[in-house]
Structure 1
Amino acid sequence: MTGFDALHPVVQHHIVNELGWRELRPLQDDAVAPLLAGEDALLLAPTAGGKTEAALFPLLTRMAGESWSGTSLLYVCPLRALLNNLEARVNRYASWLGRSAAVRHGDTSQGVRRRMMVDQPDILLTTPESLEAMLVSATINPRSLLSEVRAVVVDEVHAFAGDDRGWHLLAVIERLTKLAGRPLQRVGLSATVGNADDLLAWLQGSKRGRRPGRVLAPKAIGGGAPEIALDYVGSLPNAATVIARLHRGEKRLVFADSRRTVEQLGVGLAELGVETYVSHSSLSVAERRRSEAAFAQGRDCVIVATSTLELGIDVGDLDRVLQVGSPSTVASLLQRVGRTGRRPGAVRNLTVLAPDDDALLRATGLLLLWSEGYVEPISPPPHAAHIAAQQVLALALQERQIGRHTWQDWLDGLELVPPTEADAIVEGLLAKGVLDEDSGMLFVGPEAEKRYGRRHFMELMSVFTSDPQVTVLHGRTEIGAVDPMVLVSKVPGPRRLTLAGRTWTVTAVDWTRRRAYVEPSEGSGTARWLGTSAPLRGRLVDAMRRVLLGATPHGVGLSGRASERLAGLRAELGDRVDAERTVVLHEDGQTRWWTWAGGRANAVLHAALDAVAPELCHPDSTYTNDHIVLRGEATESGLGAALAAANQRFGEDLAGVQPEVMQRAVQELKFGDLLPDTLAHATLSERLADHPGAASAVGRPRVERWTL
């Protein structure tokens, strides 16, 4: 008996007669039995691998067979655009059984929300932030809307698990479980990850070990190896020129890893006569939809995007994917490659264009890892004390009052922080006036309204930290948002900015309402947003070291320019690398310890050295992803003695070392202001650290070199 045979007869009928499928894909067939049995599951397949159907077909069968009523299935996504993209497809499948699906997120109008309360959808497509908003709403009863939930599907679960939105999602699911009074089946959908069993255990949250769960990842049939190419172009204008000349007549999706680069490429391509669209998070919803819809309908055109289009949003049938610069993970690279090759006979492909030396080395290192079959493990950030503080406050809003010693019952064992810190978090909230207490019951204090606003505490719903951006408008049409510094820095002549792939002249700024008014313009403008660059993983940085030592990714077509520049980098930077040892290099009056251990490991090493031998550390510089800056007079023997002292003081694993945290970083931690200062610093310090990577670097022998 196949999985197909166990599906509801009506679902079978429509799969065959409406979708025209002769059979289910392996993942879809394998998923039926465990999902019908109510098991938790993690379904793994490449982009466009049929994961949505693998989850929905058996869950719709359960819905019909067990007579689920009300809103009984939640489908959670990380992006609003992905929800919008899925709505028609999910509603189509639900309609086969006389059921319905609807989207609810931050862009959903009040009218639609009111109708949803009267005519509840069977499947609700939403985000964790919207679920939180429903739980704490003062205008709706969450029990009337969400108490019938039986199962939760989390799409692109890897995108949640790697950051604080994942902890927030798990906490919200635990609260929904308590509200519904029944265990909720949890189904995660993901592309390939390096630690699937761990990801499933994370998704199960407090139910890990208490509920059956399995990973389903059948081997893909056919498809062949993707065509991967690497070229060195030397600059962004050159990248635009290459993109304009490559693959004319085809539909091309170009990824860049910053909004600024997206805008610069968009303008450059448009000036070269290419039909170009752009997509990133600082564009208005209407502008993004306009670009994505026009691109989906086009043929000979380009869309330039940040990672907003990395996930499964449908932008039509792509011919080519190009990457300017380099993503930071193999998992991200696989997502981008997976956007192509969906037509019968089409080949998955990716062309990487390196605009500078750093991008070339990083891209080559990443492709080396890919060629070796490596995919990063997904690791949730440790020590979610700030999310625990947010949850206490959210529960006080949801229940109007919550027991000081019983609020964690709502999380049913989900440990956001060690139990010893839970009381400290509550004490801090009381001390700040965010919470008040009466007879052991906690309720929202006046300071909470001052910090998070009176409008339904909307800032409290999201774990995102939003840039302090200024909205840009052309007449009444919102174009997007920019960093305020674009509007205050001195410029000669008219103030121009680049947004939505076009140039605008600023005509007026309303600072009170944080709005800038613009008119279309010619020429180039400024594109700028605030942002922080994440440290690179040690595995990638070490791969970059191996590239400098001569390693080359197999299965990747290197252009002549890329091969020539790599040879130049190996000659220029060869004294910084060694096959077995780290390098203490004296160059131009400076000393650097080239660890190639990654930013987080180097943060631990620098903090350890600063604690035991501050005289070795440079007064003005600290560390990067690949090296630590020391004073010019530092020596390998002095460094070795300091590291031995660090091992003696902090242990061989250096677990006792806490990297220094800048106050600005604490201020940028969403909900960090809810924590006592010491706990906020400890939270960030733990997240900044890679103790195993640091210990490994200390354990390797060192060589001392001088350059002339």
Structure 2
Amino acid sequence: MSAFNLLSEPIRKYIRDQKWESLRPIQEAAIQKIIATDNNYVLISRTASGKTEAAFLPILSKMNCKEKGVKVLYISPLIALINDQFMRVEKLCEYLDVPVTKWHGEASKGAKDRLIKAPEGIVLITPESLEAMFVNKPYQIHHLFSTLDYVVIDEIHSFLGSDRGIHLQSLLQRLQKVNTGKFSTVALSATVSDQNNYAELKDFLGDPEHTKVIRDTTPKPINAVFKYFEGQTKELPLDLLKDLYIRTRDSKVLVFPNARGKVEEVAVRLKKLSERVGGHANYFSHHSSVDKEVREYVEFFAKKSTHENFCISCTSTLELGIDIGNVDEVAQIDATHSIASLIQRVGRSGRREGKASNLFLYATERWSLLQSLACWLLFKEQYIEPIAMSQKPYDVLVHQLLSVVKGSSGITLDKLTEDLTGNAAFKNISAEEVTEIIDHLTAIDFLEKLGPEYIIGIEGEKVVNTRDFYTLFHTPVFFRVVSQGVKIGELPLSAQTRPDENIYLSARIWKIKDIDYEAKKIEVAPAKDGKKPLFFGDAADTASKIREKMLEILISDQKYDFLDEPGDEMIRQMRKDFSIYGIRSHQTDRPLFSGNDKLKFYSFTGSKINRTLSFILNRVGIENQLHESESKFEIDFSKKSEFISVLKDVNLNTINFDEALTELLDNFPDVLNFSKWGEFLPIKYQIELLKHRYFDFEGCNEFLQNLNFIENK
């Protein structure tokens, strides 16, 4: 029987009314499998290939709409994505008379109340809103979700390898425990590596044996053009912006710089260029600091602009699958930190059937150009970074431990330990370790023992009874940015944020007039003095495979037809610079340059291994300066023999770093800022987090064992 005929009649009518000529490949495959079995499924297919419908068409055909209780729980990483998907799912569910409810902080209270009164249909939620329900109204979890049939996880790749992902994994396990039967999970993704046969991905869903992956490998053509404009200042080169403007003025475009400040600079300067030549005025910025109403207007404008062109300069806020209609081209300014991020962004263009994706990549610095090439070539080789799941997420355990205690009216040690060790998210953490962490939380008044039961302690109440508790990521203190009573957006406070400075925000330049620290408000006015605005941005880690590919490019003579002349010349020059080493293997050989007073070592390895190397060198008294973007260490020349001896002879497996890491935490407690809940752990577990999440001693040891120094001739 065809996939279409397996669907229920109301769903078939929906498809006919939409005038679909046929089902997409991922939909054909998913319908056949999901209707026939109760397995978990991961649907992997390129952006805009119909994954949402691939999940919901068979699920809605299969579910019993007459049974009480919520039947499908859709989990999304973004509120904006929920709002976007709500309209698509609601339109589909109208054919079945199945209600769809959004459940998040900005959703209608009336709709939530109606759902609580009569639980049914489909609920769209974020992990944080689900957490809030577990903590504050655990009875609602039972009331709403005890008869779930399906959980649908959108953009699952955005969760994997992060604390937020482990948090979601734990919530799924807790949901399964309150379910009267067993719900199935369908996860959706455009970019997941098939390294290790998807083992980590299957494990994430808690039942690897009954989790199957359906992947649509249909390639999508991508037209790529790489251009190089040497940047001399913090501002983007004018020639780059002129080229970008000319190439995109007659198109619908997304531009991805790598920082909020750059996003605003692009929007402001392209808009000015357009004004000078009488072009369109539809230049916008879109990132987390832009006011929510402004972001929603930008999304609405883009989606409805069938005849008007536009350019949205954005961060990763538009990297995921929010539907903004048809985009002709994507421009990336400087290298993304990961291949997955680059491909997710490219996939936002050419969403119409049969259309190619178009990528313009602009590099302003030679190492950024080299990293961009490496990411692109690895993608062409069908490589995407594999998932790196934390084996012992002690910090997430702290959060979930507090959540479980708060959601109960008192819980015994045996029951608390059983709940946590029985949760697949913490399967590698022993009962003894859980008990030790509980004892520590009790000692610091996060927990309190009353008779045989634990409740939240005095210090714990201060943390648990805040909205910030529901998240696994740091939420910086944002100040409202206001001009004459009108909210422009929000900015995190920093040492740079002070009166008389200029800032970019909402595609304009503003001057800071006053900062009200008590009200958390920044008063601004339009800037007219030409003073250079401040830039804001965060760096991200880069994988070892990308750095190895960068070296491979440098020792090859391959030409790239997608690279412009200045870019080609810069790569030729870099190859010439590195030709003095005579490197033969990009996997083991590493350049060591001896100059008059400095020793330069190019490790060409990942960010975590570089941090580990720098830490080891400092520990043995060899001061070093790490230039992460170049994967380069600078050391005083007088330390050359000592440096070589340390890296050649060291075996990290024989070294106890606990004392050194304890000192590091004592002197630089901010080093643990990558973990929101790590500071509440006993020191021994903080050290474990540093070893496996901030540093990479195992990877560093393997790197050093295979290291072959190649000195300049």
Choose the corresponding residue for 1:578, options 573, 580, 583: 583
The verdict on how the C-alpha distance between 1:657 and 1:203 changes in structure 2, with shifts beyond 3 A counting, is farther
- Cα separation, 1, equivalents of 2:257 and 2:71: 39
Q: Verify the 8 A CA contact 1:541 1:596 in the aligned structure 2.
A: yes
DSSP 3-state at the match of 2:584: coil
- Cα separation, 2, equivalents of 1:558 and 1:205: 39
Residue 678, structure 1, aligned to residue 688, structure 2: no
Q: Verify the 8 A CA contact 1:326 1:354 in the aligned structure 2.
A: yes
Residue by residue over 1:76-110, the C-alpha shift from the partner in whole angstroms, topping out at 9 and shown as x without a partner, is 11111111111010011112111011211222244
Q: Verify the 8 A CA contact 2:136 2:407 in the aligned structure 1.
A: yes
- Cα separation, 1, equivalents of 2:705 and 2:559: 28
Q: CA deviation at 1:50?
A: 0.8
What residue in structure 1 maps to residue 165 of structure 2?
166
Deviates more, 1:199-208 or 1:277-286: 199-208
What residue in structure 2 maps to residue 520 of structure 1?
526
1:65-214 correspondence runs (5 A): 67-138=66-137, 141-195=140-194, 199=198, 201-202=200-201, 204-205=203-204, 207-209=206-208, 212-214=210-212
Q: CA deviation at 1:534?
A: 2.4
The verdict on how the C-alpha distance between 1:197 and 1:703 changes in structure 2, with shifts beyond 3 A counting, is closer
The verdict on how the C-alpha distance between 1:418 and 1:268 changes in structure 2, with shifts beyond 3 A counting, is same
- Cα separation, 2, equivalents of 1:306 and 1:641: 41
What residue in structure 2 maps to residue 639 of structure 1?
644
The verdict on how the C-alpha distance between 1:157 and 1:138 changes in structure 2, with shifts beyond 3 A counting, is closer
DSSP 3-state at the match of 1:473: strand
- Cα separation, 1, equivalents of 2:195 and 2:652: 34
- Cα separation, 2, equivalents of 1:504 and 1:667: 31
Residue 313, structure 1, aligned to residue 313, structure 2: no
Q: CA deviation at 1:75?
A: 0.7
What residue in structure 2 maps to residue 446 of structure 1?
458
DSSP 3-state at the match of 1:352: strand
Q: Verify the 8 A CA contact 1:200 1:213 in the aligned structure 2.
A: no
Q: Verify the 8 A CA contact 1:264 1:527 in the aligned structure 2.
A: no
Deviates more, 1:268-277 or 1:338-347: 338-347
Q: CA deviation at 1:583?
A: 2.4
Q: Verify the 8 A CA contact 1:232 1:353 in the aligned structure 2.
A: yes
Q: Verify the 8 A CA contact 1:499 1:527 in the aligned structure 2.
A: no
The verdict on how the C-alpha distance between 1:55 and 1:152 changes in structure 2, with shifts beyond 3 A counting, is same
1:644-663 correspondence runs (5 A): 644-646=649-651, 649-650=654-655, 662-663=668-669
What residue in structure 1 maps to residue 277 of structure 2?
none
Residue 290, structure 1, aligned to residue 297, structure 2: yes
- Cα separation, 2, equivalents of 1:230 and 1:397: 53
1:539-578 correspondence runs (5 A): 539-550=545-556, 552=558, 557-575=562-580, 578=583
Deviates more, 1:46-55 or 1:25-34: 25-34
Deviates more, 1:67-76 or 1:392-401: 67-76
What residue in structure 1 maps to residue 223 of structure 2?
227
DSSP 3-state at the match of 1:124: strand
Q: Verify the 8 A CA contact 1:252 1:322 in the aligned structure 2.
A: yes
- Cα separation, 2, equivalents of 1:123 and 1:200: 29
1:316-395 correspondence runs (5 A): 316-395=325-404
Q: CA deviation at 1:234?
A: 2.2
- Cα separation, 1, equivalents of 2:119 and 2:531: 50
Which residue identity is paired with 2:520? Answer: R
Q: CA deviation at 1:113?
A: 3.1
What residue in structure 1 maps to residue 41 of structure 2?
41
Residue 432, structure 1, aligned to residue 444, structure 2: yes
Q: Verify the 8 A CA contact 2:473 2:675 in the aligned structure 1.
A: no
Q: CA deviation at 1:691?
A: 4.3
Q: CA deviation at 1:706?
A: 5.1
DSSP 3-state at the match of 1:71: strand
Q: Verify the 8 A CA contact 1:402 1:443 in the aligned structure 2.
A: yes
The verdict on how the C-alpha distance between 1:205 and 1:701 changes in structure 2, with shifts beyond 3 A counting, is closer
Q: CA deviation at 1:244?
A: 1.1
Residue by residue over 1:243-292, the C-alpha shift from the partner in whole angstroms, topping out at 9 and shown as x without a partner, is 11113311111111211110111111122125310111122211211222
What residue in structure 2 maps to residue 216 of structure 1?
214
- Cα separation, 1, equivalents of 2:686 and 2:90: 43
Deviates more, 1:542-551 or 1:313-322: 542-551
The verdict on how the C-alpha distance between 1:316 and 1:647 changes in structure 2, with shifts beyond 3 A counting, is closer
- Cα separation, 2, equivalents of 1:143 and 1:638: 61
Q: Verify the 8 A CA contact 1:607 1:657 in the aligned structure 2.
A: no
- Cα separation, 1, equivalents of 2:245 and 2:643: 54
Residue by residue over 1:562-604, the C-alpha shift from the partner in whole angstroms, topping out at 9 and shown as x without a partner, is 1112222223454578233222222241123322122212233
1:475-624 correspondence runs (5 A): 475-485=484-494, 488-489=497-498, 494-522=500-528, 523=530, 526-529=533-536, 532-550=538-556, 552=558, 557-575=562-580, 578-580=583-585, 581-609=589-617, 614-615=620-621, 617-618=622-623, 621-622=625-626, 624=628
**Superposition TM-score, scaled by structure 1 size:** 0.90
- Cα separation, 1, equivalents of 2:703 and 2:581: 15
Q: What is the percentage of aligned positions where both structures have the same residue?
A: 25
- Cα separation, 1, equivalents of 2:109 and 2:10: 34
1:382-421 correspondence runs (5 A): 382-411=391-420, 412-416=422-426, 418-419=429-430, 420-421=432-433
Q: Verify the 8 A CA contact 1:549 1:574 in the aligned structure 2.
A: yes
Q: Verify the 8 A CA contact 1:604 1:658 in the aligned structure 2.
A: no
The verdict on how the C-alpha distance between 1:577 and 1:513 changes in structure 2, with shifts beyond 3 A counting, is farther
Choose the corresponding residue for 2:670, options 664, 672, 692: 664
Deviates more, 1:211-220 or 1:457-466: 211-220
The verdict on how the C-alpha distance between 1:403 and 1:200 changes in structure 2, with shifts beyond 3 A counting, is farther
Q: Verify the 8 A CA contact 2:116 2:140 in the aligned structure 1.
A: no
Q: Verify the 8 A CA contact 2:69 2:121 in the aligned structure 1.
A: yes
- Cα separation, 2, equivalents of 1:569 and 1:120: 63
- Cα separation, 2, equivalents of 1:595 and 1:657: 23
Residue by residue over 1:132-189, the C-alpha shift from the partner in whole angstroms, topping out at 9 and shown as x without a partner, is 1111125973322222222111111011012111000011111111122332211110
- Cα separation, 2, equivalents of 1:701 and 1:506: 51
Q: Verify the 8 A CA contact 1:27 1:218 in the aligned structure 2.
A: yes
DSSP 3-state at the match of 2:352: coil
Q: Verify the 8 A CA contact 1:40 1:204 in the aligned structure 2.
A: no
- Cα separation, 2, equivalents of 1:13 and 1:361: 51
DSSP 3-state at the match of 2:476: coil
DSSP 3-state at the match of 1:534: coil
Q: Verify the 8 A CA contact 1:471 1:514 in the aligned structure 2.
A: yes
Which residue identity is paired with 1:356? Answer: E
The verdict on how the C-alpha distance between 1:521 and 1:622 changes in structure 2, with shifts beyond 3 A counting, is closer
- Cα separation, 2, equivalents of 1:477 and 1:335: 34
Q: Verify the 8 A CA contact 1:174 1:410 in the aligned structure 2.
A: no
Which residue identity is paired with 2:283? Answer: T
What residue in structure 2 maps to residue 269 of structure 1?
270
What residue in structure 1 maps to residue 278 of structure 2?
none
DSSP 3-state at the match of 2:625: coil
Which residue identity is paired with 1:568? Answer: Q
Which residue identity is paired with 2:390? Answer: P
- Cα separation, 2, equivalents of 1:198 and 1:281: 35
- Cα separation, 2, equivalents of 1:111 and 1:11: 28
Which residue identity is paired with 1:434? Answer: F
Could you tell me which runs of 5 or more consecutive residues in structure 2 were left unpaired when the two chains were aligned. 275-280
